[in-house]
Chain A
Amino acid sequence: MSGLLSVADLHVSFTTRHGTVPALRGVSLSLAAGETLGLVGESGSGKSVTALAVMRLLDRAAQVTGGRITFRCEDITQAGRGIMQPLRGAAMSMIFQNPRAALNPIRPVGLQIADVLRAHRALSAAAARDQALDLLRAVHIREPERRLGAYPHELSGGMCQRVMIAMAISCEPALLIADEPTTGLDVTTQKAVMDLLGEIIAGRGMALLLITHDLGLAAQQCDRIAVMERGEVVEEAPPAALFGAPRHPYTRRLVAASPTPRSEVHTLIGLPPPLAVQAPPPGPPLLEVEGLGKRFGPGPPAVDDVSFRIAPGESLGLVGESGSGKSTIARLVCRLLDPSAGQIRFSGEAIDAFPAARFHAHPRRRDIQLVFQDPGDSLNPRFSACQSIADPLRKLLGLSDPAELRRRATFLAERCGLEGSLLDRFPHQLSGGQRARVGIARAIACEPKLLVLDEPTAALDVSVQAVILNLLDRLRRDTGLGFLFVSHDLNVVRMMCERTVVLQAGRVVETGPSARLFSAPTAPYTAALLAAIPHFNPPAALTPAARA
């Protein structure tokens, strides 16, 4: 095997105020020229640290405490600047997660590509510009001549990532490291970017180290996949073998927790199916939205003529890509924003006429609650978990007795699977999943009738997402809550919602029962969205039928 990169028994630890914390505990990998290796795992598993160690870009608190990194038969474990500077960009280069943040905001992208070229090769400004133009063509950017002079803020996220790829491949490196290259991009953009990346590495014979949390993406792109958990590679195999017969228990859990077109909420965490939901009693709809519109300044409206209804106890999915207006609709329904047009009726009562700025005092305030996307910034940093959960009880129910508030907060927390002992912690002392539970406990504190969930699991690892989705599903069965479930993840919406609304650029493209909509979409846009989701074939061994 012509080893391009080999990492042997690599140990890295970080020095913190509480002592030394190991980040990598004996990672071994190897990558041959032209090969694609996937590195999958959840946050904190050490994927990015591995990549940074290979590039020798670890920050000062990190120390390589053991092992060897060999690149083209040369030991670079402790290589200094003099050795690494000519290698970086020329022989190995890296694509980062957030392309907009990785580009210099005040320099045209054409010049930024030319900068990389001129740093490694003796080129005139004009020659570098010509090569930059060729590279923009190679990454399929439309009107490359015009884009050469564009600033990053003038480009979309997908185009910024193409520019990043152009920069990374500009000097024909032998090794490309892509750290979550499509996280944060829409599925259709993700597909286009990944197709491009695949085409480029195949065409130029580059090796790719693809770091991702998305098993489907890794399965589609990689020759081999290494699964990392807590600083160790627990299993490494070609995708078919890995997903067909995962050997390590962690891999098995991870594969089960990743939503697929066939999974059900309960199969994600390996539970038996729950009892069927009783049909909601016929009656007036819980929420009726008619001709809803919202315009921010000039230009096309963010939300345009959107209508849907939710029956009591029903779960309605709202899917679409970024800019489709789904978060705006969530905020309009929660009465945090005033609509520019249309009507919102809650249990037959028109609530759109009451201005959002004063809706906090409206008697319906407690009936409509919101669960936020990022559990990190949805909790007040200066409130303990208990204070966050008790806050709506104090304001909306008028409770003030500390013992009673504490008792209720503990009850709510336990209902959401949060141990009572964690209630005195502040948000930064809780994990992502625990924060999400606090946010859900707060939202259900006043027993609302409608819960609006704005991408409630988008910022969570798949295994945590699986648990939170089950929690939400159980809450809905137990309490008869109505859900407006906003998400970009079609598999999640299919599992969680009886009916689904597909949005594009603020307009409804298609509405229908989830089962039908996802198996036989009528709108071409829905079909395109479905086709763009990266899938791996769920092994027969893991489906509930085979297990039983």
Chain B
Amino acid sequence: MNATLRHAAWVLRGNPVTLLAGLGTFVLLLLALIGPALLAYDPIASNVPMALQPPSAAHWFGTDQLGRDVFSRVIAATRLDLAIAASAVALSFALGAMIGAFCGYIGGRLDRWVGRFVDVLMAFPLFVLAMALVAALGNRVENIIYATAIINLPFYIRFARAEVNVRRNLGWVEAARCSGHGPVGVVMRFLLPNILPAMAVQVSLNLGWAILNAAGLSFLGLGVRPPTPEWGIMVAEGARFITSGKWWLVVCPGAALMFAVLCFNLLGDGLRDILDPRLRT
């Protein structure tokens, strides 16, 4: 453990961008956990006399058309947006890595069938597919998660399959077979842990993409409904007022969205360096 920490410290020292992204991610997680408890205003209660106030000392990000504090709503939305993205990515990572790894290791008919399924899935415009899924399954938060997970799945399957394919004939895989491991043991105990560092990069990049995807669906009115604070809906609602110069309604939640996506994307590369044991000495 000590060695891992030392190694992480070494990677971060040479890579301040990763350190910043890591700090940003930490702040986001903290806000998601305890943010709602710290707020000065109720993010849902309307206060019409105070509607559409520009940013001020009392309302840092101004107020919206119902007089709700935009800053409180942006903070309160962190938990929902991160939860949707994280569970969607966790779901598609777990399923995709497993399916891909088994396809890559076993090959044959399983590989061909899964390969064609992935091809079909990727032939759809993915965002349209997600919209169709949410529309068909019902307009609920968990359906946004499932839809986001399904459209991410092909990338994980392909990635894991390719990573396993280059390793399946290495000495240590044959040694595992000689040591009595069957296909399940070889994949779960040997191959999956070894492709994890490369997958971690993919996960981190995908988190940003999943947040954008969830926000996009909400923006179109699918999934999360008003008055729940969520970055996508806030941008959608604020868009009606941007022509009248009420920029803070769009820019503030948009900036939060951008910050989150940026943090996760920048974290990716640093994470790979930290997780790869071969870079440790």
Contact = CB atoms under 8 A, between A and B. Distances in A.
B193 interface: yes
Interface in B169-215: 170-172, 174-183, 185, 190, 193-194
A366 interface: yes
B113 interface: no
A378 interface: yes
A370 B172 contact: no
A336 B172 contact: no
A327 to B, nearest CB: 11
A392 B193 contact: no
Given A18-B281, A381-B277, A381-B278, A442 B179 contact: yes
B180 A429 contact: no
Interface string A395-427: 110000000000000000000000000000010
A369 B172 contact: no
Contacts of A290: none
A360 B189 CA distance: 15
Contacts of A334: 178
Given A17-B10, A17-B281, A429-B281, A380 B180 contact: no
B180 A378 contact: no
A373 B277 contact: no
Contacts of B171: 372-374, 377-379
A395 B174 contact: no
A380 B190 contact: yes
A369 B176 CA distance: 11
Contacts, number: 77
A365 interface: yes
A229 interface: no
A426 B177 CA distance: 20
A428 B179 contact: no
B278 A395 contact: no
Nearest to A359: B177
Given A370-B174, A372-B175, A380-B176, A428 B277 contact: yes
Chain B interface extent, by class? 20 to 34
Chain A interface extent, by class? 35 or more
Contacts of A359: 177
Contacts of A396: 179-180
Nearest to A357: B183
A345 B207 CA distance: 55
A361 interface: yes
A81 interface: no
A539 B92 CA distance: 67
Contacts of A369: 178
A35 interface: no
A439 B175 CA distance: 9
Contact of B175 (A18, A365, A378): A378
Contact of A381 (B178, B183, B194): B194
Given A17-B10, A395-B185, A377 B180 contact: no
A382 interface: yes
Given A379-B172, A380-B176, A442-B175, A360 B182 contact: yes
Contact of B193 (A361, A378, A382, A426): A382
A395 B181 contact: yes
A236 interface: no
Contacts of B194: 380-382
27 contacts: A331-B174, A336-B174, A336-B178, A360-B177, A360-B181, A360-B185, A370-B174, A370-B178, A372-B174, A373-B171, A377-B170, A377-B172, A379-B171, A379-B172, A380-B194, A382-B277, A395-B179, A395-B180, A395-B185, A396-B179, A396-B180, A426-B277, A428-B277, A428-B278, A428-B281, A439-B175, A442-B179
Given A380-B194, A381-B278, 14 more contacts: A17-B10, A331-B174, A336-B174, A336-B177, A357-B183, A360-B177, A368-B178, A373-B171, A374-B171, A378-B172, A378-B174, A381-B172, A381-B277, A443-B178
Interface of A: 17-18, 331, 334, 336, 357-361, 365-366, 368-370, 372-374, 377-382, 388, 391-392, 395-396, 426, 428-429, 439, 442-443
Interface of B: 10, 170-172, 174-183, 185, 190, 193-194, 277-278, 280-281
